[in-house]
Amino acid sequence: MSERVIEPPAVAPASSGEAGEAARVAARAFHMMGPDAEHGWSSQDAIAWEGLLDVSRRLRRGAEHVLADRCDMSISMLGITGRLSRAPALTLRQTALAESMGLSLSRVSRVIDILEQREVLERHSCPADARATNITLTSLGADLTTRAQHELFTYVQSAFFDRLEPGEVATLAAVFTRLLDLPPAPPEDGCGAGAGSSPARLNGHQRVRRGRE
């Protein structure tokens, strides 16, 4: 079996003594994963992985800025109101909102507190279960959600889709569909985590769970 030829990290032509942005981002793979990535990955591997992470971060920050600047909302807020806008009677249980967003109930509750103060939504006791709380989108909240959704769509269209070549959307969709449909790979023990150590802690720091929102 022939061995895979590993290309050295690509470096874009220097401009004013600085490497190109793609090369800078790709180099992060070798900073973060060291010799394993340096000897096992090609330059395309490095930019495919680090580029995915970096572009995702940039788009997320851009979306947050657009919503905050134009609608005084966050991604989490729109995640809540957007789900309510599509629910029967504009109402969902608070626990259902938290579960669908992949966030803790306490975090969702804090965001709902802010939106309730702004009269974007209302809390009600669930008539079918006295222990549950229903969240209902108000008319003010519905109008705000529609405006925020339009602003976000316009940003995503301009910052992402308008910059892709024909056929690239289908390629990205096929790749992400395949990866998302696979079961998550179990993490391997490492970084000195010994037997009996808590999987929820690493070097004394609580791991942070990020929601899908």
- Contact indicator for 137, 144 with CB cutoff of 8 Å: no
Does residue 29 sit within a domain?
A: yes
First vs last C-alpha separation in the chain? 45
What pLDDT is attached to residue 35? 93
Residue where a domain stops, chosen among 163, 183, 200:
163
d(CA 143, CA 136): 14
Does residue 204 sit within a domain?
A: no
150-204 pLDDT, tens digit per residue, is 999 999 999 999 999 989 999 999 999 999 999 887 776 666 655 444 444 444 4
The verdict on 79 and 98 lying in the same domain is: yes
Does residue 156 sit within a domain?
A: yes
The verdict on 132 and 77 lying in the same domain is: yes
Residue where a domain stops, chosen among 71, 96, 114:
71
Other C-beta atoms closer than 10 Å to the C-beta of 149 total 16
114-145 pLDDT, tens digit per residue, is 999 999 999 999 888 888 999 999 999 999 99
The verdict on 61 and 92 lying in the same domain is: no
Domain of 145 in residue numbering reads as 73-163
d(CA 176, CA 185): 15
CATH of the domain at 80: 1.10.10.10
Other C-beta atoms closer than 10 Å to the C-beta of 193 total 15
Q: In what order do the strands lie in the sheet with 91-93?
A: 91-93, 129-137, 121-126
The verdict on 31 and 102 lying in the same domain is: no
The verdict on 80 and 118 lying in the same domain is: yes
29-60 pLDDT, tens digit per residue, is 999 999 999 999 999 999 999 999 999 999 99
Quote the Cα angle for 149-84-109, to 5°: 105
Does residue 152 sit within a domain?
A: yes
What pLDDT is attached to residue 19? 55
What pLDDT is attached to residue 18? 41
What pLDDT is attached to residue 1? 45
The verdict on 53 and 93 lying in the same domain is: no
Does residue 149 sit within a domain?
A: yes
d(CA 163, CA 117): 39
Does residue 175 sit within a domain?
A: no
The verdict on 90 and 159 lying in the same domain is: yes
User: What letter represents residue 53's amino acid?
Assistant: L
Total domains in the fold of the chain: 2
Residue where a domain stops, chosen among 32, 51, 71:
71
